[in-house]
Structure 1
Amino acid sequence: MAEQLKEDLAAVIAEMEKTVAEFPENVMAQHHLGLVYMKAGRIEEAIACLRKAIELDPQSTESMINLGAIYFGQGQLKMAEDLNKKALSVSPRAAQAYANLGLIAQQNNELDIAIEHYQKAISIDATLATVWLNLTSVLTMKGDDERALEAAQKGLELDSESPLAHNNLAVALYFSERYAEAQKHMEKARELGYSVDPNFVASLQEKLA
């Protein structure tokens, strides 16, 4: 199955490369080839295509956001931040750009700024499950247990099979002193393949003893 997927992806890349070679000024062709390169792990080629797309169309919000995601993955947070801010200057209601800025602020331990960005993202698109999960983590770190629990419940509602959603809800329930419910979601997170923090497991078991 894995080999088949690789072959299929290689075929898609070959076809899209032909299109880009024939129409090098086509913004969407450059953008989509960049995304496929990302999926294939060909990062430098993905960067080149997304940069070209932005060069061809300075309004290409999606290219900016995706290029920012690559830089974030490389730890180049300032470049990622600049690209997402540029995307917002073009499309002020780009929810994913706000979500990404929240993640960057969280990485920089700027928790209040992260919360502000996450809240802005979900005010635009409340269906972004990952944003609710990230917001849960930051609110938990801030000790805002009530809001963390609300965010965790919303995240799980949007993605009931997410191991991280179950883990985050378990932690939020723990801090709300709802230990039996926390254990249920902790076990579900494990069942779904999440590596639950052993210290959290020990602390929860102590509370349940």
Structure 2
Amino acid sequence: MEKAPNAEAFIDQQKNAIASNPDCGTSHYNLGVALLGQGKVEEAEKSFFTAIECSPGLAEAYVQIGGICLKRGDTDGCLDWNQRAVKAKPGFSEGWGNIGFVLLQRGDVDGAIKALEKATVFNFRFIQAFATLANAYLMKGRVKDSIAANLKALKLSPDFAIAHNNLAIAYLEDGQTDLALVHADKARQLGYDVAPQIMNELEPFRS
């Protein structure tokens, strides 16, 4: 129950900051994030647009608008706004990660790999980007690269179930069934629903 008053107080604080300095893009952006947290999507979106008008280089605002587009099912909009984000700030890993995610959903695996590789170079702790990149590598048949990307994700978060599941698939493709079993079992222990066909393929190798 404490969060609402704190959120309201934060919103009031940002509105006061905007009243005294209407051209501060950061205040408009902060207000947008707070409004988004309250589920006021359209109000938040307006704040992000204003933030960009005040501060065209505020890449975070572009990414937030891209996220709103994605929730609406508008992948074109999501891609466009994230591309604007990395144009405003070329080393913005979150923008590259989102571009990679959308391109992979669209079947542009090569484009996704390029974007996701940039995301992980600019932020070597971007765990979700490593996991998505691992999937993209697997789709291209780059099994060793997929294994390496998943292992980097697990180094950041040893209990990241998706990476354990992905490793089970990659190690199975690579003929390393012992390791595939280890990671499939670990993914299940962590509550991940490993595909039945993967478990069926691995069962004969269980000692």
TM range (shorter): 0.7 to 0.9
Instruction: Tell me the equivalent position of 1:185.
Output: 183
Kindly provide the amino acid, as one letter, of the partner of residue 193 in structure 2: S
* Matches for 1:120-135 after TM superposition, within 5 Å: 120-135=118-133
Map Cα deviations across residues 61-106 of structure 1 (whole Å, 9 max, x no partner).
1111222122123221111222122222222222222111111100
In structure 2, relative to structure 1, the CA distance for the partners of 1:208 and 1:65 (3 Å cut) is same
In structure 2, relative to structure 1, the CA distance for the partners of 1:81 and 1:204 (3 Å cut) is same
What is the Cα-based RMSD across aligned positions, in Å? 2.2
| Consecutive unaligned residues in structure 1, runs of 5 or more | none
Do the aligned partners of 1:163 and 1:194 also contact (CA within 8 Å) in 2?
yes
TM-score between the two structures when normalised by the length of structure 1: 0.87
Distance in 1 between the 2:191 and 2:21 partners? 44
In structure 2, relative to structure 1, the CA distance for the partners of 1:187 and 1:58 (3 Å cut) is same
Do the aligned partners of 2:178 and 2:205 also contact (CA within 8 Å) in 1?
no
| Consecutive unaligned residues in structure 2, runs of 5 or more | none
Q: Bigger CA drift: 99-108 or 161-170? A: 161-170
* Matches for 1:170-209 after TM superposition, within 5 Å: 170-208=168-206
Instruction: Tell me the equivalent position of 1:119.
Output: 117
Give the number of equivalent residue pairs: 207
Do the aligned partners of 1:65 and 1:97 also contact (CA within 8 Å) in 2?
yes
Instruction: Tell me the equivalent position of 1:110.
Output: 108
Correspondent of 2:29 among 24, 28, 31: 31
Do the aligned partners of 1:159 and 1:165 also contact (CA within 8 Å) in 2?
no
**Is 1:75 aligned with 2:73?**
yes
In structure 2, relative to structure 1, the CA distance for the partners of 1:53 and 1:183 (3 Å cut) is same
In structure 2, relative to structure 1, the CA distance for the partners of 1:137 and 1:16 (3 Å cut) is same
